[in-house]
A and B are shown apart, each in its own frame.
Chain A
C-alpha cells in the first residue's frame, strides 16, 4: 500500500463576512484512523471540501500524498471520499450509481460488485437508491469511496443515521482499513462514535485546530492525578490524605476525589492510617470529557458572538 498522508496547511476560507477556516493545519497519517472532531460549524466539512478541491481556499493548501487533489492522476484511486450520503439520484440503482463512478475511474464493473459485497449492500444493489434508508446510503457512500481501492479515505460523518449494528460494523471496518496501512480521516460531531476507533484525533473549533494528539495522550491529560475512593470513614481519610499533600473533595456521602497523589500512594497512606476503604480507583476521563473541555471555550465564544451579531449566517 502506497502511503498517502492528507496534509492541511494554514487553510483560510471566508464566506462573505463569515470566517469558516481560520488557519487550519493538521496531518492525517497513514496506518491509523484519525478522528476529525468538532462541534457543528467548526469547519470540518469545509476543510474536507477544500482537501477534495471542491472549494477554493482563500489561503493555505491541502495535499493528498504530496499533491493537491485536483492535480492527482486518477483521483479516485488516490483518495476515496464520502461527503454526503444523500448525494445519489433517487431513481438510479445503487449499482448504477457506483457504475458511473467506476467508468470515470476506468474501473471494471466487477469492482463495483466487489465493493457492494464489502459494505454488505449486494442484495439491495439493483433497487432504486431513493428507497434506501440513511444507513444504507452511508454504506453506498462508503462503497463509492472504496471503489478505487485508494490508500487514503476521507469520510464526513459516516456514522450518521446508522443503526447500532451498522455503527459496530463501521468501527471495525475503519480499523481494518487503517490496519491495511491506509490513511483514514473520519469526521464526527459526536465523541462516542469515535471512541475506540480513532487512535488519533484532531479537535477543531471556529475553523482552527484546538488539539492534535493521540487519543491515549488526550485522555491521560484530562484524567490528571485523580483517584476516586469510597470509604465509610470520610473524615479520617481526608485528614490522612491532606496531611500528605493531597487535595480532597467530597463526591457524594461516602466518596472522595483525591488530586495530587498517585493511586499507589493513596492506598499506602490509607492503609497506614488504618482507614477502611471500600473501593479505590484512579479516575479515567473519557474522550468525551477531553472533547467537551476543549470545545467549551470555543462554543461559549461562538455563543457570545452570535448574540453580538444576530444577523450573521453560520455554516
Chain B
C-alpha cells in the first residue's frame, strides 16, 4: 500500500466518520459513537461471562424458593366460639378490600327516604374507637355497604360509610349530664348525618353517597368496640389472643320519619364472634329506652387484626435474590478494575460517563426482566400454595398485584444499579458487596423481617435507607380510624409504595452521579 502518496486512502470509509483530517475538522462538533453501540457492547460483556448468567438464575431461584418455603409453612389457625379449629375466612367490603364487620345491630327495614333521630345518653366503652350510633345498612350480611353517624369515647362524633370513609364531626363524647342527639337522613342514595347537643341546634357532620343502596335497607342502632388483641408473631405465623371488650350504649327518644317509621326492632349479631362467645352482644328495651351491647369493629381490615395474608408474603425471598443480583452487578464493574479491562472500555469509549450509563442500563434492564419473571412466578405459585394451606389472602385490586410484581422487578433493577455504582466508586468487589449488604439488605432484614428493632428505629431505617424501596411490595393500607400495630412486620411501611421506591432511586442516582464524577476524574 503506497500510503504516503495516498493520504486519503480511507476516504471511502462507509461510516463517513473520517473527519479528523484538516484543521476545519477541529471546529466541527465531534461525532461520537452512538449510545446504542455502548449498550450493545455492555450487553455482549454481560452475556459472555457464564458466571453472571448463573448468578442471575440463582437470584431468581433464591427469590422464588424462599417465598415458596415461607408460603408452604404458613398456616392460618382460627377457633370458633367452642374452641374448635375452623377455616380462616375474611370479609370483603363494597370496594373489594377486606373489612372488619362485627357489631350488634338493632334494626328494622326502611323503605325509601326517611330519617331516624335518637338521643344517646350513655356510652360505656374502654376503647377510644368504640362506636355507637345510627346506621343505614344494605342488609345484615357482613361486608354490606352502610353509612352511620356515631359517637366514640376518644374521637368525638363521626360520619362513617363503607368501612374506609371517615369524616370527623364535633369533638367530645357522651357523659351522663351531656347527652348527644344523632340524626341520619336518607334522600335517594345520599345519607346525611347530623349531631346536636340538645335536639334543637343541629350540626351536619357530612353526607355519604351509597351507590346501589336498594330502596329497602336496614336502619337501626348499633354498638361496637374493637377487641383488645394480643398477638405473637413469627416469620410464618401470627397467633391472636383476643380479649373481648364490650361497649354499652343507651339510647332514648327514638323518632323516625318517612320510610324509617315502625315499631318493631330486631337484634342481630353481625359477623362471627370467633372464639369469644362473650362478644356476641345483645339489646334490652325498656319503654322508650334501648340499651345495646356490642363487640367488634366496623372498619377496614388490617392484617394484624384479621387473619389475612398479604400477597407480598410470596415475595419475602426478594432480599436473598437481591444479594445474588448485587454480587453480579458489582462483579460486572469490579472485574473490569481487577482485570484491567476498564482501560480497554475507556479506550473504546473515552466519554466515561456514558460507559457507566450504558452499564447501568444493561445490568438494570437484565435484572428487571429476570425480576419480572421471577416475581410473577413467585406470586402465582405462592398464592396458590397459601390458599391450599387454608390461608386467606388479603383482597386487593388486580392493579395492586400488578404493581407489586412490576415494583419488585423495578426494586431489584434499581438496587442492582445502586450496587453497580457502589462497585464503581469502591473499585473493589468485596468492599462494595459489604457496603451494599450493610446499606440495603441489613436494614431491610432488621426493620421489616426480623422483630429485633424497636418500631421507631425500624421506621426510621425504612424512611431513609435504600431499604425503603421494599415499600413498593406493600399492599396493606393503614387507616387512622383503626388502632392497630402498623409495623413493617405486618406489611406496613412508613412510606407509600412509590415514595419508598423513590428513596431507593434517589440513592441509586446519587451513587451513580458520584461514580461518574470519580470515573471522569481518576486516572484509569
Also in contact, A104 and B48, with CB within 8 A (given A83-B343, A88-B341) = no
Which chain A residues lie closer than 8 Å to B17 at the CB level? 73-74, 77
- The contact sample of 24 A-B pairs, CB cut-off 8 A, is A1-B1, A1-B10, A3-B3, A54-B346, A54-B347, A54-B523, A66-B23, A71-B350, A72-B350, A73-B30, A75-B350, A76-B347, A76-B348, A81-B347, A86-B340, A87-B341, A87-B344, A89-B49, A100-B41, A100-B44, A104-B41, A179-B1, A180-B3, A181-B9
As a 0/1 sequence over residues 342 to 380 of chain B, the CB contacts with chain A under 8 angstroms (1 = contact) are: 011111111100000000000000000000000000000
What would 15 more interface pairs be, CB under 8 Å, given A73-B19, A96-B48, A100-B41? A1-B10, A2-B8, A54-B347, A69-B350, A73-B30, A74-B15, A75-B348, A77-B13, A90-B339, A91-B49, A91-B50, A92-B49, A105-B37, A106-B34, A181-B1
CB proximity of A197 to chain B, nearest CB, Å? 19
A101 in contact (CB, < 8 A): yes
B165 in contact (CB, < 8 A): no
Which chain A residues lie closer than 8 Å to B6 at the CB level? 1
Which chain A residues lie closer than 8 Å to B19 at the CB level? 73
A305 to B44, CA, bound (A): 48
A90 to B15, CA, bound (A): 33
A93 to B48, CA, bound (A): 7
A60 in contact (CB, < 8 A): no
A151 in contact (CB, < 8 A): yes
A98 to B7, CA, bound (A): 28
A72 to B44, CA, bound (A): 24
Total residues of chain B contacting the partner, CB 8 A: 49
CB proximity of B385 to chain A, nearest CB, Å? 37
Which chain B residues lie closer than 8 Å to A179 at the CB level? 1
A205 in contact (CB, < 8 A): no
As a 0/1 sequence over residues 112 to 139 of chain B, the CB contacts with chain A under 8 angstroms (1 = contact) are: 0000000000000000000000000000
CB proximity of A298 to chain B, nearest CB, Å? 24
Also in contact, A3 and B20, with CB within 8 A (given A87-B339, A87-B344, A100-B45) = no
- Contact present for B7 and A3 (CB under 8 Å): yes
- Contact present for A86 and B37 (CB under 8 Å): no
> In chain A between 115 and 167, which residues have their CB closer than 8 angstroms to a CB of chain B?
144, 151
B18 in contact (CB, < 8 A): yes
- Contact present for A30 and B341 (CB under 8 Å): no
CB proximity of A199 to chain B, nearest CB, Å? 14
As a 0/1 sequence over residues 31 to 56 of chain B, the CB contacts with chain A under 8 angstroms (1 = contact) are: 11110011011101100111100000
A293 in contact (CB, < 8 A): no
> How many inter-chain residue pairs (CB < 8 Å) link A and B?
138
B287 in contact (CB, < 8 A): no
Which chain B residues lie closer than 8 Å to A181 at the CB level? 1-4, 9
CB proximity of A265 to chain B, nearest CB, Å? 40
Q: Specify the chain A residue showing the minimal Cβ separation from B331.
A: A89
- Contact present for B349 and A89 (CB under 8 Å): no
A296 in contact (CB, < 8 A): no
Which chain B residues lie closer than 8 Å to A73 at the CB level? 17, 19-20, 30-33
Q: Specify the chain A residue showing the minimal Cβ separation from B352.
A: A70
> In chain B between 12 and 32, which residues have their CB closer than 8 angstroms to a CB of chain A?
13, 15, 17-21, 23, 26, 30-32
Which chain B residues lie closer than 8 Å to A75 at the CB level? 347-348, 350
Which chain B residues lie closer than 8 Å to A144 at the CB level? 344
A72 to B524, CA, bound (A): 18
CB proximity of A44 to chain B, nearest CB, Å? 15
CB proximity of B366 to chain A, nearest CB, Å? 15
- Contact present for A89 and B38 (CB under 8 Å): no
Which chain A residues lie closer than 8 Å to B31 at the CB level? 73
- Contact present for B49 and A101 (CB under 8 Å): no
Which chain A residues lie closer than 8 Å to B23 at the CB level? 66
CB proximity of A201 to chain B, nearest CB, Å? 21
- Contact present for B347 and A88 (CB under 8 Å): no
Which chain B residues lie closer than 8 Å to A55 at the CB level? 523-524
Also in contact, A2 and B347, with CB within 8 A (given A49-B523, A73-B32) = no
Total residues of chain A contacting the partner, CB 8 A: 50
CB proximity of A264 to chain B, nearest CB, Å? 37
A217 in contact (CB, < 8 A): no
- Contact present for A31 and B4 (CB under 8 Å): yes
A99 in contact (CB, < 8 A): yes
B335 in contact (CB, < 8 A): yes
Which of the residues B9, B20, B45, B344 comes within 8 Å of A1, measured between beta carbons?
A: B9
CB proximity of A58 to chain B, nearest CB, Å? 11
Which chain B residues lie closer than 8 Å to A103 at the CB level? 37, 40-41, 44
A208 to B165, CA, bound (A): 81
Q: Specify the chain B residue showing the minimal Cβ separation from A71.
A: B30
CB proximity of B419 to chain A, nearest CB, Å? 18
Q: Specify the chain B residue showing the minimal Cβ separation from A84.
A: B340
CB proximity of A234 to chain B, nearest CB, Å? 52
Which chain B residues lie closer than 8 Å to A31 at the CB level? 3-4
Also in contact, A105 and B33, with CB within 8 A (given A52-B347, A74-B15, A74-B17) = yes
Most buried by B among A53, A89, A91, A151: A89
Which of the residues B4, B347, B348, B524 comes within 8 Å of A30, measured between beta carbons?
A: B4
A225 to B42, CA, bound (A): 60
Which chain B residues lie closer than 8 Å to A52 at the CB level? 343, 347
A8 to B430, CA, bound (A): 39
CB proximity of B450 to chain A, nearest CB, Å? 36
A101 to B42, CA, bound (A): 9
CB proximity of B42 to chain A, nearest CB, Å? 8
Which chain B residues lie closer than 8 Å to A180 at the CB level? 1, 3
Q: Specify the chain A residue showing the minimal Cβ separation from B332.
A: A89
Which chain A residues lie closer than 8 Å to B3 at the CB level? 1, 3, 30-31, 180-182
CB proximity of B33 to chain A, nearest CB, Å? 6
Which chain A residues lie closer than 8 Å to B44 at the CB level? 96, 99-100, 103
A77 to B31, CA, bound (A): 13
- Contact present for A88 and B1 (CB under 8 Å): no
Q: Specify the chain A residue showing the minimal Cβ separation from B44.
A: A100
Which of the residues A66, A78, A99, A104 comes within 8 Å of B38, measured between beta carbons?
A: A104
